[in-house]
Homo-oligomer: A and B are copies of this chain.
Amino acid sequence: MRATLDFLLNDWLDVEALTRRPRFADHSRETFASVLDTCERIAREKFAPYNRLADTEEPWFDGERVHLPEATHEAMRAYVESGMLAAAQDYELGGMQLPCVVEMAANSFFSKASVAMSGYAMLTNGNANLLMAHGSPTQKEVFARNEFAGRWFGTMCLSEPQAGSSLSDVATRALPDGHDFDSDPLGPRYRLKGHKMWISGGEHEITENIVHLVLAKIPGPDGKLVPGVKGISLFVVPKRLVDEQGRLTGERNDVALAGLNHKCGYRGTTNTLLNFGEGRFPVRAYTGGLDGRGAGAIGYLVGEPGKGLAYMFHMMNEARIGVGLGATMLGMAGYEASLEYARQRPQGRPIGPAGKDPAQPQVTIIQHPDVKRMLLAQKSYCEGALALELYCARLVDEQNTAAPDAAAEARLLLEVLTPIAKSWPSEWCLEANNLAIQVLGGYGYTRDFPVEQYWRDNRLNMIHEGTHGIQGLDLLGRKVVMDGGRGLALLATRMQETIGRAAQVPELAEHAESLARALTRVGEATRAAWATGHPGEALANATPYLQAFGHAVLAWIWLDVALLAQASRAAGGPQDFLQGKLAAAKYFYRYELPKIEAWLRVVETRDSTCREMEEGWF
């Protein structure tokens, strides 16, 4: 994978160009490479060897503490020591001022080595980033800084047992903590009560403290919660209370583990149901007059009340690119494992003009066309997805450090691409894992080989951080129609630009034509979906739309990569490597892109088969 990563970063995305911007001026191609080297090494030494262990020795709770394998603790120590938690932060925060695209590329090694172990770090990074964007100076100093230093880890507490995707139904309540609630140096102090479900990293002993970021509602004067997402505020709720110097006060906050979720995969990341403020750990006398028991967990408001979801979504693009990259890396891990197996396993014979000759020796299975098909499919899914994720990460850098016009354009493009960056690898790199199992046959189905675990781990990605269905609604319901369709138009312009260049290259002209047709078809289907203006009709087939859109985007990415591969080949670049890229692109155009027709057909006819299905007919 490293060669592909270098090719994409250096030759395709020209990350070196970023070093001409002030923020990245101290960097060079060499410093970027050295970060990748370090991460690759730590991932290989401290993560990969223990990935199966993290699955078999699932976290368990003894009633007081959650136990994780010692290997997870060690991997986290190594990760913290690498400084990667703060990689993209300012120097003064202990960071490296690394571009987002390089940070993501470096983190990809950890995801590939053990997606479940690396989950703790990714969450902590996202949590601290959010505080950097919306927290008060003290909150940044106390919470974010200690997270970047790896002293504390963080979580995101959104879902509740009765409201998974439906955040407007968040029922966790936050009440001002006494009359002096507004004069706490850590921020307006509230008492929170409620239950949070699916909280990854919600309890563990890896770090001395855990910083929870919690969505909750502050009741109105009538004591009632405001319906909808507008009533949601964001709070920072540490597991153990701290003072404004970030020292533990010795008080345990009332955040209690109600139970661990036992998952199909991704087992190494503790996933929890947390009770906030139920009285398991009574904390401080409630200045409202009650005694402490059951008064609520202490939390500090972040930013303004009612803006919690907006703050959370501010970081969502990066979080979703992170999920997409994690899914991609699971796919990549399976691809590499099945490729290695196929190269070594002798079985069967080639089919000649007269069939097979059993007197001939067996060949390695990589010689069989159907095995090549399964490997090439994996390659096209995983390397294509990797290119897309890095492209999106590069857009984050544009958004953050480019000139205003270019930054605005990058932001817009990112809005449209994020649902794809999240959903596409979740679906297709899972399919890659499915194919990896198939390449290994019966062995792939056993726990003696890693591929079945990748497949189980990857199944989570279509669910968390916004389900597949939610991504479809986001794309067709918001992203392609916002601002009169400006985002979609911008993406189309970028795609046209690639098509225009590819049309001039004889080897790629066929693909350019296919992509142009696909782009037209996506545009037609988008308009047809909304032709009646009724959201219910347009959105009933949002998921097939998401799938078609995703395949068109990936075809574009592959064509752009193929353009470079073709040029590099002509310039005498590494022929086998570049032929591989061109073959994967060709596979995608011949075997995958044609699938969009079936998906778009139901979108453009606003097919009502599903919408009109009645409960009693099932």
Contacts and interface: CB of A to CB of B under 8 A. Distances in A.
A163 interface: yes
B198 A468 contact: no
A430 to B, nearest CB: 8
Interface string A250-286: 0000000000011111000000000000000000000
B617 A263 contact: no
A29 interface: no
A590 B609 CA distance: 8
A616 interface: yes
Contacts of A591: 544, 598, 602, 607, 609
A542 interface: yes
Copies in the complex: 2
Interface stretch (A10-18, A112-120, A131-139, A373-381): A373-381
A58 B263 CA distance: 17
Contacts of A164: 347, 441-442
Contacts of A346: 162
Contacts of A615: 343, 366-367
Interface stretch (A32-40, A481-489, A578-586): A578-586
B456 A535 contact: no
A446 interface: yes
A179 interface: no
A142 to B, nearest CB: 31
Contacts of A228: 358-359
Most buried by B among A447, A595, A615: A615
A290 interface: no
A-side interface mostly? helix
Interface in A462-486: 462-464, 467-469, 472-473
A166 B348 contact: yes
A264 B613 contact: no
A310 to B, nearest CB: 16
A456 B618 contact: no
A341 interface: no
A477 to B, nearest CB: 8
Contacts of A601: 590, 594
Contact of A586 (B438, B469, B534, B609): B609
A393 interface: no
Contacts of A618: 339, 366, 375-376, 379, 580
Given A263-B446, A437-B459, A441-B467, A598 B609 contact: no
A197 interface: yes
Contacts of A198: 442
Interface string A593-618: 01101100110000101110111111
A265 B462 CA distance: 21
Contacts of A355: 535
Contacts of A540: 369-370, 373
A227 interface: yes
15 contacts: A165-B347, A261-B446, A263-B445, A263-B446, A351-B535, A353-B536, A375-B618, A437-B463, A438-B463, A445-B459, A445-B460, A583-B609, A591-B598, A591-B609, A595-B598
Interface of A: 159, 162-166, 168-169, 197-198, 227-229, 261-265, 339, 343, 346-353, 355, 358-359, 362, 366-373, 375-376, 379, 434, 437-438, 441-442, 444-448, 452, 455-456, 459-460, 462-464, 467-469, 472-473, 534-536, 539-544, 576-577, 579-580, 583, 586-587, 590-592, 594-595, 597-598, 601-602, 607, 609-611, 613-618
Given A263-B447, A437-B463, A544-B591, 11 more contacts: A165-B348, A198-B442, A352-B535, A369-B536, A369-B610, A370-B472, A370-B543, A434-B459, A583-B617, A590-B607, A594-B598
- 10 closest A-B pairs by beta carbon, nearest first, are A228-B358, A580-B617, A594-B598, A264-B452, A369-B540, A373-B610, A370-B469, A227-B358, A576-B616, A369-B611
